[in-house]
Structure 1
């Protein structure tokens, strides 16, 4: 087993998970971040993000001496054999990925990289980025590779240590094998390719997952029109191994830190390449239309005499883009909230992972401390994140606080029977109370 000196630049979800998990595999890892406060907290094993098992892995790495944190990016790479770039690539103008952070770091470390080291793009980047980074580095003695991450928030540590596959792309096959060999002891298929293949694999994966979710949401609408139960239909197709059950749960639309920006970035790549990909465009448009359709259902059930939600108080349960994380980036819950607010609704929201008041959301909604605070006097309750604790709420108490006994369960996680016993009316996605019972 060959243990390496590894530097990870960026300590977000991907960077911190990558650094801490590589240290747990025995490598010597330095994680660099430009935020001095964050570096100091990480040195004390204080992890800001909500991610199961990650604080434990960070503590273990620090205790073993194999994991350290620094703000000095240039010094961090001086002894590195492998340098991972785990930097933000947000959606930029026209949907293209904004590579400013990647380019800035490449410029910063250019003259400090040791001869023969490998720079690895871990961030999700457009095809051609590895070549772009190589040109910026202008170091023929340094190889640039692509090793896209396939980590799910809420399961990032598990996914790193138990991946479905490890994809590495490099022009030099030996460099690709060297990067793949970092995952020592992990039993997973290795896909070794060139950088274009690795970069496109990440975008293709996220597009396909988004497409399945848009399909499920559109299917749910069809089920509502035809009095069919979407759960039964999905069960009927999900057992087919060619289709699979994963990512077929209807809900309030898809979102999060990856799918929206990556589908738009891929669409931008298609346009620049002169390739028509109507399925990709339809996947994005279907998601937007689905959210509008859900909002119209709330309007139909809660609108005032003027047909609007002006002055109507609504309770939102859930703000994070999915349960198990506090991440609000491109959350479908917030997309629904914005559409409701545009119709005039006054929104009060509760999320177990979002407790602090958020100044950036103050014009949109009010965050409260408990679910009962959210529903107090509300015209309806709208469930937008699949937190399991919402199933176990005292729904009789909720009914006593709601102004109108109406619950929109846009995650299909509640028991309509229990709500019925509390004299509450339940509406799901692609299901009726009778079907759910």
Structure 2
């Protein structure tokens, strides 16, 4: 079964109801969404049970407790071959859900990257929703009032700059300070066990990179939670009371397709596979296809030399005002290429080398994404991809040695 087939038939909770969802399109008529995907679901995927699906392990821990839930549209439970959102599932099982906490993109998962998400109320259940994005990334004591246990269930994609692991950090920190247990419902990492990229230097810590790890960390979010706790990365080295509900019948060598978009601009397997390589463009004047239906599968700019492929970004879901809105971008279509292994720098190097405005190519956000100033300097110096990646080796090996302590699943690394 191809990813698109799964995606179109997934039931997605959006606050008020469950509805059938298909891949959405935009007005950029020169871009057509391909049905061809190189990654198919491993036959064992149908046997995999996520942490959320292993509800026999966590429902008893929530009984007679006042529960907070940090989740979004990806928090789905498969109950007897029927898909239901975690919040609905908990209420159905007489669990007292006091509050819902929403990460970047919101509880429904439709907001733009970086868009301010307001607090509110779930119209279906009446449960208060507290945004953990914008200025309020860490829940305060009042927002945690009356909560006995916190359930965390977000689908991560295994990259340092995907902000759900930063939300996890702040939630764990707040719960540790308020003596609240955190239960993480683990989910597979669609980018598997691959570890790659420069290790973040703590001088460049930000919400898109809080810890000294490579861009691709090769861990599930449950394993990562254990690392945050074990390495004492929380404020003042505190540790929270943590329990991970593991995935069963899973190892990270299995190809794994997500059944729902983890965020608005990662619509399919191809985008998730290319995201670790193309997200660096977010710190440049090059578009990664926001405002098209091939987000993180194309790149281009009006400043790049003319190519046989071009696209014109226009506003759509998840990109109300995309970069180069309404302007023709010359670039490259990667939507049909074979899946890549690790991080590829060739597209970033090509875009810089062919830019007519090199002096405007980088913006200040690039340093946050890279986690250092070296990468920008290396690109400007004209270093090759191999020369740049060779400088990552020592940091990657040191990280792998640390990460071994926290792995739950079989790992080829």
If the length of structure 2 is used for normalisation, what is the TM-score?
0.33
Q: Which has the higher contact order (CA 8 A, sep 6+)?
A: 2
Greater helix fraction, Structure 1 or Structure 2: 1
* Larger Rg belongs to: 1
If the length of structure 1 is used for normalisation, what is the TM-score?
0.32
